[in-house]
Amino acid sequence: MTDQHSNAYYHTLDKSYYLPTLRRLPLALERGEGCYVWDVEGKKYLDTLAGIAVNNVGHCHPKVMQAICEQASKMTHISNFFVSRPQVELSEKLVRLSCIGRVFFTNSGAESLEGAFKIARKYAHKNGRGGTIISFRNSFHGRTLATIATGQKKYQNGFEPIPAGFRQVEFNNMDAVLEEVGEDTAAIVIEPIQGEGGINVADREFLHGLRALCDEHNIVLIFDEVQCGVGRTGHWFAKDYFGVQPDIMTLAKGLGGGVPIGAILSNEKVSQAMEHGDHGTTFGGNPLVCATALATLSVIEEEGLLEKANENGKWLKEQILGMNEPSIQEVRGVGLMVGIAFEFETKPLVLDMLEHGVIANATAGNILRLVPPLIITREELSIALNTMKESLKNIKENA
The catalytic residue positions are 140, 224, 253
Q: Which of 189, 183, 168 is nearest to 218 (CA)?
A: 183
Q: Which of 196, 192, 199, 198 is nearest to 243 (CA)?
A: 192
Q: Report the DSSP pairing between strands 44-47 and 361-363.
A: unpaired
CA distance 145 to 154: 13
CA distance 185 to 187: 6
At 323 the three-state DSSP class reads coil
Q: Which of 297, 279, 295, 299 is nearest to 105 (CA)?
A: 279
Q: State which amino acid sits at residue 128.
A: G
Alpha helices in the chain, H assignment, sequence order: 7-17, 50-53, 62-72, 85-98, 109-126, 145-149, 174-180, 204-217, 238-242, 268-271, 287-302, 305-322, 347-355, 378-397
Question: How does DSSP assign 220-262, residue by residue?
Answer: EEEEE-TTTTTTTTSSSSHHHHHT---SEEEE-GGGGBTB--E
Instruction: Answer yes or no: are the C-beta atoms of 264 and 250 closer than 8 Å.
Output: yes
Which residues, including other chains, have CB under 8 Å from residue 276's CB and lie 6 or more apart?
none
Counting beta carbons within 10 angstroms of the beta carbon of residue 120, is it exposed (0 to 12), middle (13 to 18) or buried (19 or more)? buried
What are residue 322's DSSP bridge partners?
none
Query: Cα separations (Å) of 363 from 52, 228, 368?
Result: 11, 15, 6
- What is the rounded end-to-end Cα distance, in angstroms, of the chain? 34
Q: How many residues does the chain have?
A: 399
Q: Which of 111, 132, 128, 94 is nearest to 266 (CA)?
A: 94
